[in-house]
Structure 1
């Protein structure tokens, strides 16, 4: 009798386990399907000009030229229902002045997951393309990667960091993708965004800023065409034989829409970076403390010490030391 009862209980328990397992499988399957169909990573943010404008204004310091050009270029491109070519931007300037930061700002105003979206692809020259003897292999891989991602998601974004360290000639492999063709091998690239980040041109930019300052001009008076700055930047980049843009057909064919200068930061901008880091770390602002951190960073030229050597690159590290 006891054995019979035990058997019945075991059967019931087994059925419960089986049913539970089946339910787990069903729930898992539904979750997978739901994730694939509705995952936020595959969504684009409804583009909002004012949101991008506010984002640039509130979180970018000392870059009035970059802010203005990026706002107009990205807004015009995102609201154009039939763009004739991809948006291609080239950011130039010294370290710590906001080039990567602006790339992230653009990404978070386009994709729901911002720079963490699977549709934002970052290539770091020295990491992804380290060997000169492998340039032809890199060209093939790069073209395949871009083609595959754009064919599955037209509004893909590609960021090429440290262009001044890239093997010359490599970037020319993607020239057809940046041109005005409606399709290349059956794929349209016209909705994609390409951003190049480079320290190349920093000496040109620094000279323009210092000359302007010495002539008594306000920093905010500088514009893209001030003292032929944009022209000098692309000439400098084009002729730098160690740069990824050396004699590049992208420049020859005028496929880069804007060579955007990121100006070296002044003390007041570094101070803003310190305040922003303090807020992020939930540290109460104190003017004397902020000044100590900002003053502990190097500035140039040696006589005037007007511009920051590292921009905001090491602000967080300096801040942590002073806490």
Structure 2
């Protein structure tokens, strides 16, 4: 039996079988993709679903543009789903406020403008009172200093006292500081020391005359001469009682008139010790307050040998023919001399510890000539320079380093002029 040509069916069946094998997986993939798109669309259309990032509308299907990469990427460190993450709005960065925030439960009160503290008013009143007192005190200081005319006193001393510019300047300076006010805590004690004839007693007389004129009351100026008021034959205790009574009368009267009295005590080196003790008692703070406002001027020749020795040792420091150079040298050595005198006098009596020591130096020959001219003019003679020099040459002088210092100063000038 002839089987004829081979059949073609097996050949035709092979392609169909292979096509079904290929189409079935593709359909399965499409169904899965369609299913995934439906699930994704349902999830996005839920109430918590988010809009499209670009247009703000829900995605219509899988054919729409794919969402942003950040929505498909898994979120780390969170348990929120994509719907919760997409529904959150970005937080705004709050600006830090500099204002003070009060709790809502507390009450806020603003200070009233018209309300002022009484303490503030009292403080303003106190400041006004203090300012008025300060201005009044300044005016009182000026008035009190002008009452004594210290500028006129300084001019008088500079014109009448020769060869003592440092001593005159120190006396006026101490008085100016003390008389700047009327209320004091202690008296002013001036101790004028130097050899004989240098002008100590002359300064005392000028001070007494000036204060009598400016105070307009001679009872407020006391001049006490130890050689006259307390001679050697008189008991020292009686002199002490008399001095205490006279000083008390002067200071009490000056306190009633609100003035500062002047008490000049000459020849203090001749005073017995009880008198020095009484003077020392006047300076004590336990005394009544009217004893605190007074000026005591002690004129003493104690320490004159120390002044003479000091001047002769330092004579070469000053120029012989230049008054300005002599004054500058005196200004440099005055402090050292004052310290020496203070230490020397304190060994004799504690009174000198509270004193302002003013040393009077030896007089140069030209100062003695000036004394002669001044005395000649006062006696009615013509003050001839050559004649005054001839009279000065009759006196004794220390000759050191080309300079001449009078041994007795101007002590013999008056007696010499009276012989003319």
The TM-score normalised by the length of structure 2 is 0.58
5+ residue gaps, structure 2: 1-144, 320-324
Pair member with larger Rg = 2
The answer to whether 1:288 aligns with 2:393 is: no
Summarize the alignment of residues 1-323 of structure 1 with structure 2, pairs less than 5 Å apart. Answer: 46-112=147-213, 117-131=218-232, 134-154=235-255, 155-181=260-286, 183-184=287-288, 188-215=290-317, 218-220=325-327, 221-223=329-331, 226=334, 228-239=336-347, 246=348, 248-251=349-352, 254-256=353-355, 258-301=356-399, 306-321=404-419, 323=420
Alpha-carbon distance between aligned partners in 2 of 1:157 and 1:216, rounded to the nearest angstrom: 35
- How far off its partner does 1:117 sit? 2.5
- Matched pairs, number: 266
Please identify, of 295-304 and 120-129, the stretch whose mean Cα deviation from structure 2 is larger. Answer: 295-304
CA spacing shift, 1:178–1:225, aligned 2, 3 Å? farther
Bigger RCO (CA 8 Å, 6+ sep): 1
Report the Cα offset of residue 111 of structure 1.
Answer: 2.3
Q: Distance in 2 between matches of 1:132 and 1:173?
A: 19
CA distance in 2: counterparts of 1:87 and 1:177, whole angstroms? 11
Q: Identify unmatched segments of 5+ residues in structure 1.
A: 1-43, 240-245
* Shift in Å, 1:308: 0.8
What CA deviation, in whole Å up to 9, does each residue of 1:194-231 have, x standing for no partner?
11111111111112211111345643122386472112
User: In the TM superposition, what is the alpha-carbon distance from 1:119 to its structure 2 partner?
Assistant: 2.5
Contact 1:96 1:313 in 2 (8 A): yes
Q: Which runs of 4+ in 1 moved over 4 A?
A: 113-116, 215-218, 301-305
In structure 2, C-alpha distance between the alignment counterparts of 1:283 and 1:259, rounded to whole Å: 37
Structure 1 residue 48: Cα displacement: 2.0
Residue 153 and residue 82 in structure 1: after superposition, are their counterparts in 2 closer, same or farther (change >3 A)?
closer
Distance 1:57 1:99 in 2: 14
- Please state how far the C-alpha of 1:301 moved relative to its aligned partner: 5.0
Give, in whole Å, the separation in 1 of the partners of 2:314 and 2:409: 19
Aligned equivalents of 1:320 and 1:147: distance in 2?
40
| CA-CA distance at 1:136 after TM superposition | 2.6
Q: Which moved more, 1:187-196 or 1:265-274?
A: 187-196
Deviations 1:102-157 (A, max 9, x none): 12222233221889933322222233223488223322222222112211224332
**Distance verdict in 2 for CA 1:225–1:180, change over 3 Å:** farther
Q: Indicate the residue corresponding to 2:128 in structure 1.
A: none
Q: 1:169 to 1:224 in 2, by over 3 A?
A: farther
Q: Distance between the aligned counterparts of 1:115 and 1:312, measured in 2?
A: 31
Q: 1:14-54, CA deviations, whole angstroms, 9 ceiling, x for partnerless residues?
A: xxxxxxxxxxxxxxxxxxxxxxxxxxxxxx99322321221
Could you tell me how far apart the structure 1 residues matched to 2:410 and 2:186 are?
34
